[in-house]
Amino acid sequence: MLKRFRGRSMPIYLEISPLHRLVTIVARGKVSGEEVRGTAEKLAAAKVRRFAKIVEVASASFDFQPQDIAALAQMMRADSDGRGPIAFVVHDLDQPFPRMFANQTAHEGPVDLFLSLHEARAWIARIQNAPPSADPDRQGTVIRGTRARDYTTRELVH
């Protein structure tokens, strides 16, 4: 199921792919803080915080203040799940909005800026295909028929 959202003036295009656990956002032209907040609200409502996101803003300019970025980061933080990786595709690695957003939210999950869509997709793929980090004290139960056995992942590694 593919979901697409467009704003009235259409500077922001949003596509959600549950199959690939990927959100693609493309911003064009002058984008206001209100439009960015509206997109963040749609993402929160769609419950895709853990999905990877590619945010293409190379041909966009943003008309809002640094406090708008802090408010946006706070709004996206409201969901208690971990955040998926965010790859910004930019025309300049010092582009203000993506750089400030990355600096303010880097501790919440992987975020980076790229000069091409190809680089961004490759980075996302590396993160999504990386082996999960092992938690040796994670516990589980194996159930076979009427028998059950508790274990920790440490026991499975041996």
From first to last of its 158 residues, the chain has per-residue pLDDT tens of: 455 555 445 588 999 999 999 999 999 999 888 888 888 888 888 888 889 999 999 999 888 776 767 767 666 665 556 788 999 999 999 888 888 888 888 888 899 999 999 999 999 999 988 876 666 667 777 788 888 888 776 655 54
Residue 152 in domain: no
Tokens of 143: 């159930």
Residue 70 in domain: yes
Residue 94 in domain: yes
Query: If we measure between CA atoms, which residue out of 53, 50, 69 comes closest to residue 120?
Result: 53
Residue 30 in domain: yes
Query: If we measure between CA atoms, which residue out of 96, 93, 87, 158 comes closest to residue 124?
Result: 87
Whether the full predicted model's pTM is greater than 0.85, yes or no, is: no
Residue 124 in domain: yes
How many domains does the chain divide into?
Answer: 1
CATH number, position 79: 3.30.750.24
d(CA 131, CA 127): 9
d(CA 146, CA 133): 31
Identify the domain containing residue 121 by its residue range: 3-132
Residue 138 in domain: no
d(CA 134, CA 37): 36
Residue 139 in domain: no
Residue 26 in domain: yes
CB 52, CB 21: distance < 8 Å: yes
